[in-house]
Amino acid sequence: MLSNNKSAVFILAAGRSSRFNSSTSKIFHDLCGQPVVNYVLDVARFFAYDYNSIISVISKDSPEIADTVCVRQKDALGTGDAFRSALFRLLGQQGSLCTGPVTIDAEQRALANNASSSLFIEKKRTSSEMALVLYGDAPLITTESIQLLFEAKKKNPEAAIVILAMYPENPSGYGRIKEKNGKVTEIVECKNASSEEKLIPLCNSGILLIDINVAEKLCPLLKKNDLSGEYYLTDIVRLATDNSYSVISVEAPANELCGINTRAELSHAHDILQKRFREKALQRCATLYGKDTIFLSYDTVVERDVTIHSNVCIGPGVHIHEGAEILPFSYICNATIGEHCSIGPFALISGNTVLHNRSTAGSFVEIKRSSVGPRSKVKHLSYIGDSCIGSNVNIGAGVVTANYDGHSKHKTVIGNNAFIGCNSSLIAPIEVGETSIIGAGSVITKNVPSKSLSLSRPEQKVVPLKTSSKHLSRKK
């Protein structure tokens, strides 16, 4: 099992989020295009055996975390109780875990405390089976850092617990790791640490790898902290050393291990992720001008020779193909940008829009839920919604596809090689045939056949001004 770096994975996510002062739990706040907890889920899926081996612990009124087996904590009694609840759920099901959430009440918690409980022990396990503990509010963790835990375990097979440790610039608030002869002896929570212990630079991230058999034996021994009235998972380290189990630590970068407890920390996590996303784009040989003003999303795909200028924001679901150029102050979300396309400046592209190779969406253009064919141009001040535009089409300035009648959205279809004159309105549903021309300033309400000119303008009249006209006599 360990050779494949697979384990059961526990995600502790039952915190109150009190410092966020929000009606939404902090783990479901948006972070670069997806909820905070989804970053942790990505790591969990990489190391878990399967869906049923990812156990998330959530509060009694929290939404479920998708693609995990959810355990609800009826009472928020700390990380130790959360882990124990999840472990009880894992070991009490004989491999047949159901998908619905379960509330751990006092009676079930008492069963978990009883090490001889048949419900708690029935599942037969191998001696190498491990549990990885992650936190729903720690989204910056990478698979590379988690690999360090498994590598340390392989080098030290006798270790029952491997802790991910760090040296943060500001250790305030973090538990301190006490070591002796290369082994961890205890983790002291910051609020319980003495002045001397607070000088220890090595801090606990909370993330750890633990032998499931050892966890099963030690969890019933956890006791409430006298000051907080909570069960601390960190106490399991002291219990392990007291019972002659080996505990070691391995260091990982501190900027991957910080949790999110406040809006300021959410903003800080956003900045760190943006640096990662930009670096990934640069490694793929994209050019970023004013890169600190360019914002990407967790799933943005940027191919080589793409050029992105300053003050561009890219939301979720965007793939930018080779050679495309995104000019300043543009926003793209849920869209595919083809090879050698030109976007912006000040363009808005969204709603699963596809811009095919060498097409253009120019300045102050909005395109939504549409397809723009190869080499077609929407150059200036136009709105294109719910439209299918063929190849080599020219859309003049100020063109609007009027797609909404107040009740439903309707589609506009424009054939290959068509020319739509400036300030025209196409009232959907409507089709404009291939190689047709729409005269400037027209309001088109009926289908236009191929190879034709369509106009709808009032007749222009010319009336000479009288010499007594106020217009002629006005001051210059």
Q: Could you report the per-residue pLDDT of 346-370, keeping only the tens digit for each?
A: 999 999 999 999 999 999 999 999 9
- 68 has a pLDDT exceeding 70: yes
CA 342, 344, 345, 350 dihedral sign is negative
Average confidence (pLDDT) over 2-11: 80
Residue with tokens 């050779």, as numbered in its chain: 3
Specify the higher pLDDT residue, 411 or 461. 411
Judge whether 409 is annotated as a binding position: no
Q: Is the pLDDT assigned to residue 217 strictly greater than 60?
A: yes
Domain ranges of the chain: 2-256, 263-454
Catalytic residue among 29, 268, 270, 380: 380
Relative orientation angle of helices 36-47 and 143-155, to the nearest 10 degrees: 40
* pLDDT tens for each residue of 143-159: 999 999 999 999 999 99
Collapse the DSSP code of 213 into the 3-class scheme (helix H, G, I; strand E, B; otherwise coil) and give the result. Answer: helix
pLDDT tier at 459 (50, 70, 90 boundaries)?
confident
404 is in an annotated binding site: yes
* Residue 82 is assigned to a ligand binding site: no
Neighbours of 440 (CB within 10 A): 16
170 is in an annotated binding site: no
The one-character DSSP state at 159 is E
* Percentage, residues of the chain above pLDDT 90: 75
pLDDT of 122 strictly over 80: no
pLDDT band at 258 (very low <50, low <70, confident <90, very high): confident
- What is 329-376 written as a DSSP string? T-EE-SEEE-TT-EE-SS-EEESSEEE-TT-EEEET-EEES-EE-TT-
Percentage helix, strand, coil for the chain under 3-state DSSP, each rounded to 5: 25, 30, 45
CA distance 223 to 232: 8
154 marked ligand binding residue: no
Cis peptide before 220 (omega within 30 of 0): no
Q: Answer yes or no: is pLDDT of 113 > 60.
A: no
Asked whether 203 and 166 are in contact (CB, 8 A), the reply is yes
Residue predicted with more confidence, 452 or 193: 452
Mapped onto helix, strand or coil, the DSSP state of residue 462 is coil
Residue of 409, 356, 417, 365 whose CA lies nearest to 386 = 409
- How sure is the predictor about 128, in pLDDT bands with cuts at 50, 70 and 90? low
311-324 per-position pLDDT tens digit: 999 999 999 999 99
Average pLDDT, the chain: 89
Q: What confidence score (pLDDT) does residue 348 get? A: 98
Range from 181-190, 202-211, 286-295, 457-466 carrying the lowest mean pLDDT: 457-466
Q: Does 457 count as an annotated binding residue?
A: yes
Q: Can you give the pLDDT at residue 1?
A: 37
- Flag whether 335 is marked binding: no
Amino acid at 466: K
CATH class of 263-454: mainly beta
**Confidence at residue 253, expressed as pLDDT on a 0 to 100 scale:** 95
Is 156 labelled as part of a ligand binding site? no
pLDDT above 50 (res 97): no
Beta-carbon contacts of 158 under 8 Å, excluding residues fewer than 6 positions away, are 246
Does residue 319 carry a catalytic annotation?
A: no
* Residue 112 annotated in ligand binding: no
Domains 2-256 and 263-454 share a fold: no
What confidence category does residue 379 fall into, taking pLDDT thresholds of 50, 70 and 90? very high
Residue 264 in this model has a pLDDT that exceeds 60: yes
Confidence of residue 120 (pLDDT cuts 50, 70, 90): very low
How far apart, in whole angstroms, are the C-alpha atoms of residue 75 and residue 86?
14
> Checking DSSP bridges between strand 394-395 and strand 318-320, what pairing results, if any?
unpaired
Answer yes or no: is 51 a known binding residue: no
Among 68-72, 266-270, 328-332, 336-340, which is the least confidently predicted range?
Answer: 68-72
Give the CATH number of domain 2-256.
Answer: 3.90.550.10
Please list the residues that pair with 179 across neighbouring strands.
Answer: 184
Cβ contacts of 373 within 8 Å, gap of 6 or more? 356, 359, 389, 390, 391, 392, 393, 416
Judge whether 298 is annotated as a binding position.
no
Distance, CA of 260 to CA of 249 (rounded, Å): 23
pLDDT for the residue numbered 48: 93
